[in-house]
Amino acid sequence: MQIELTSLDATRRLGVALGCALPERAIVLCPGEMGSGKTTLIKSICEGLGVRRETVISPTYMLVNIYRGLRPVYHVDLFRLSRVEELLEMDRCDWINSEGPTLIEWPEIAMPLLAGETALTAHMSLVTGADNHRMLALAGDAEAFQAVFTTLDGATPAPARKPVGTPGGLRDKLQRH
Ligand SMILES: Nc1ncnc2c1ncn2[C@@H]1O[C@H](COP(=O)(O)OP(=O)(O)OP(=O)(O)O)[C@@H](O)[C@H]1O
Ligand SMILES: [Mg+2]
């Protein structure tokens, strides 16, 4: 699922909707180039999970931030990690939340450890020549993340069988701003 985010506000509304639809202990992988909006998106996902938005800050120096939401939310940033062994040396429950969602920026280095996990990937990309535009590619097990895909369905480019810009869809709302 590809979603065009045409403004900061569009990212915020999409993120909140995504957070509201996440399964209880979802793992969300957030790859994407530097400055593409991973933390910005995660702030809004957290908001959808009942976390106070202003408490969400990049955990680059901490590795893991834990926020109080409807359930605890783990926000992990592996940018500074150079070896997967550093994660292996940690207790798994120190960076994968057993009681709620785990949102991971720069997840690449941890992929060998996450191979068997059912994770949603939310890949943010910059759009050349458009400062506030971003592309979000969402991928994951259709059944496990059914609520996410159903909720955000209106935000995708309309498939041929649907008229483009179905009025009232999330896509319509996102693009109005
Ligand atoms: N539509 C948009 N969605 C997300 N961020 C946007 C958008 N438009 C502009 N921005 C800006 O882009 C910047 C993204 O910064 P952010 O820290 O979220 O990126 P990041 O991918 O987490 O960076 P890093 O790789 O350093 O962790 C912010 O300053 C944000 O305001
Ligand atoms: Mg970040």
CATH code for the domain of 148:
3.40.50.300
Please tell me the distance from the alpha carbon of residue 109 to that of residue 82, in angstroms, as a whole number.
8
Q: Are strands 64-68 and 134-139 parallel, antiparallel or unpaired?
A: unpaired
Residue 162 placed within a domain = no
Residue 176 placed within a domain = no
Residue 168 placed within a domain = no
- What number does the ligand 1 atom closest to the CA of 33 have? 25
The pLDDT assigned to 155 comes to: 54
Residue 167 placed within a domain = no
Residue 161 placed within a domain = no
Nearest CA to ligand 1 atom 5: 37
Nearest CA to ligand 1 atom 10: 132
Residue 165 placed within a domain = no
Ligand 1 residue neighbourhood (C-beta within 6 Å)? 5, 7-8, 10-11, 32, 34-40, 58, 105, 132, 134
Residue 108 placed within a domain = yes
The pLDDT assigned to 62 comes to: 77
3 CA distance to ligand 2 middle (Å): 19
150 CA distance to ligand 2 middle (Å): 27
Residue 172 placed within a domain = no
- What number does the ligand 1 atom closest to the CA of 36 have? 21
Please tell me the distance from the alpha carbon of residue 86 to that of residue 126, in angstroms, as a whole number.
30
The pLDDT assigned to 166 comes to: 41
Residues of the chain with pLDDT under 50: 157-177
Domain extent for 145: 2-155
The pLDDT assigned to 159 comes to: 42
- DSSP letters spanning 10-33: HHHHHHHHHHHH--TT-EEEE-B-
Q: How many domains are there within the chain?
A: 1
Look-up of token digits 């990049």: 58
168 CA distance to ligand 2 middle (Å): 31
- What number does the ligand 1 atom closest to the CA of 79 have? 27
